[in-house]
Amino acid sequence: MRTILNSLNNNPIGFFDSGVGGVTVFEQVKKLLPNEDYIYFGDTKNMPYGEKTEAQLLEFADNIFKFFEKQNAKAVVMACNTTSAIVYERLKDKYNFKVYPIIQSVAKQFSELPIKRIGIFATPATINSHCYKKELLKHNDKMEVVEIACPEWVRIVEDGRENTEFGRQAVELKMQEMLMFNPEKIVLGCTHYPYLIDILQKFAPKEMFINPSEEFAKIIRNDLVSKNLLNQSQTSGYEKFYVSANPEKFQKSASMFYEIKDLPVLTEFQPA
């Protein structure tokens, strides 16, 4: 088994999301593992995922997994809370690569925080699945969890409207609802939401917000180490970005967290 795993060392790691949100995860992983090769797929044609049905999400994710299989990925990071919540269990054993779902990976660590009340901001699909709440309570049944759906936030980020009055009001409305619960911490349960931190911290201290990408990156790094799957190269790896629509818009929107030097490739592969 060790020989088989070693043969995969130099294969790339895949990331996917409905758009630029997953870049917040990619950026954290690359900081920890600069010598890996990376492939990122942003399904901008079909975003936002948070409004899609389970059948649609399964089709999108399955097609993206097939794309990564053709790219010989050694691991795929579900840098999307919605697909982690809805379709991870259906796909985790279907392909010959390790799959890392963001919610299931970080929930145990969050459940061990020395707090009693935690809030979750996420997409409607993630909230309706109650995946965060179930995972947190599985590890700590005494924790109080409040879940609030933020249906407009992904589009605000993708459209670059973080600094508009509409963006501010959309965030303020949900923050007012959340603060009524008096949470000790708030999980940004969609990888797009860290793009809104400048607005969010106007209503609560920055330290109150948890960006799961940071903890998720450490978990991915540690697991790759334990499985002897790290790239042995001593030089920086390559990065390739693919999108299913609007590469220029994707490149611009992602720039808050990461500078994508080459225009993402508008691929022939486009999920349905």
Token duo for residue 33: 């593992």
Q: Residues 80, 154, 175, 186: which is the catalytic one?
A: 80
- 80 carries an active-site annotation: yes
Q: Residue 35: helix, strand or coil by DSSP?
A: coil
Question: Is 63 within any annotated ligand binding site?
Answer: no
Angle between helices 102-111 and 131-139 (to 10 degrees): 40
Question: Is 226 within any annotated ligand binding site?
Answer: no
- 190 carries an active-site annotation: yes
Are residues 81 and 19 in contact, defined by beta-carbon separation less than 8 angstroms?
A: no
Question: Is 19 within any annotated ligand binding site?
Answer: no
DSSP bridge partners of 39 = 14, 240
Question: CB neighbours of 58 closer than 8 A, spacing ≥ 6?
Answer: 86, 87, 90, 91
Question: Is 123 within any annotated ligand binding site?
Answer: no
DSSP bridge partners of 185 = 118
Give phi and psi for 250, each to the nearest 5. -60, -50
Question: Is 130 within any annotated ligand binding site?
Answer: no
Token duo for residue 42: 């942003």
Question: CB neighbours of 20 closer than 8 A, spacing ≥ 6?
Answer: 42, 157, 158, 192, 195, 250, 253, 254, 257
Are residues 82 and 58 in contact, defined by beta-carbon separation less than 8 angstroms?
A: no
Q: Residues 118, 156, 171, 190: which is the catalytic one?
A: 190
Q: Residue 250: helix, strand or coil by DSSP?
A: helix
Annotated binding site for substrate: 17-18, 49-50, 81-82, 191-192
Residue ranges of the annotated binding site are: 17-18, 49-50, 81-82, 191-192
Residues designated catalytic: 80, 190
